[in-house]
Amino acid sequence: QVLSQESGPGLVKPSETLSLTCTVAGGSLRAGSYFYSWLRRPAGKGLEWLGHVQTVGSTTYNPSLDRRLTISLDPSKTQFSLRLSSVTAADTAVYYCATTKVPHAPGHAFDFWGQGSKVTVSS
Amino acid sequence: IHMTQSPSFLSASVGDKVTIVCRASQDISNNLAWFQQKPGEAPERLIFSASISEGGVSSRFSGSGFGTEFTLTITSLQPEDFATYYCLQDYNYYTFGQGTRLEIK
């Protein structure tokens, strides 16, 4: 079982950078092989995968967002982070962190989720 | 890969049987999962590999399909089943369907 919790500001101004952190309990982020992901769900819309960082530190991003997105790992703090630059109202959403053990069976992504952190982009 | 999920809204009664469909824009083999999400909670996976139920998930939930068309069937609806359901493909990156909101009639 991997327990995780998102944290960060609930309000961000347009054009600024949204920063969130996911704190993971249950062991070192360098142990085993995992994908540490960020996802979001805008109000009234479906879930969107943003990207992930692997245990070894390499990253993969959603091509629709990758120019604005940075996901990084801080294993000393058992945390991984999201930075999304140049935000607009369209980035208002509930943001989730999730963990996937790899390798995995088909369709077996996103095993453990945080409870979500609501972020509003507004001046 | 684009996932088209239907219907987007479903109204049903306790005891009913309902079916939700997800269509992929290209062949994704069996790389499909179904998630349930209740208000204020994180999504929870019900089905993976298109048809394999997670441990502890009620046998009222079943998944089927392969390639481009997939279904989630819920039989004998219970009050706790009224939630939003999403399909997810992980064949190439990760894409969710737009969701099906299941409400009590």
Sequential pLDDT tens for chain B (105 residues): 999 999 999 999 999 999 999 999 999 999 999 999 999 899 999 999 999 999 999 999 999 999 999 999 999 999 999 999 999 999 999 999 999 999 998
Nearest CA in chain A to B52: A107
Task: Check residues A45 and B5 and name the one with the higher pLDDT.
Answer: B5
Say what the pLDDT of residue A57 is. Answer: 86
Whether residue A32 has pLDDT greater than 90: no
Bridge partners, residue A35, by sequence: A54, A100
Say what the pLDDT of residue B27 is. Answer: 98
What's the CA gap between B12 and B100, in Å, rounded? 12
Confidence of residue A65 (pLDDT cuts 50, 70, 90): confident
First to last CA, chain A: 39
b/e map of B30-48 (b: 16 or more CB within 10 Å)?
bbbbbbbbeeeebbebbbb
Say what the pLDDT of residue B83 is. Answer: 97
What's the CA gap between A56 and A31, in Å, rounded? 10
Say what the pLDDT of residue B71 is. Answer: 98
Q: Which B residues in the span 47-86 are in contact with A, Cβ-Cβ below 8 Å?
A: 47-50, 52, 86
Place of tokens 């890969």: B1
Q: How many CB pairs under 8 A join A and B?
A: 70
Mean pLDDT confidence for A17-38: 86
A51 close to B (CB below 8 A): no
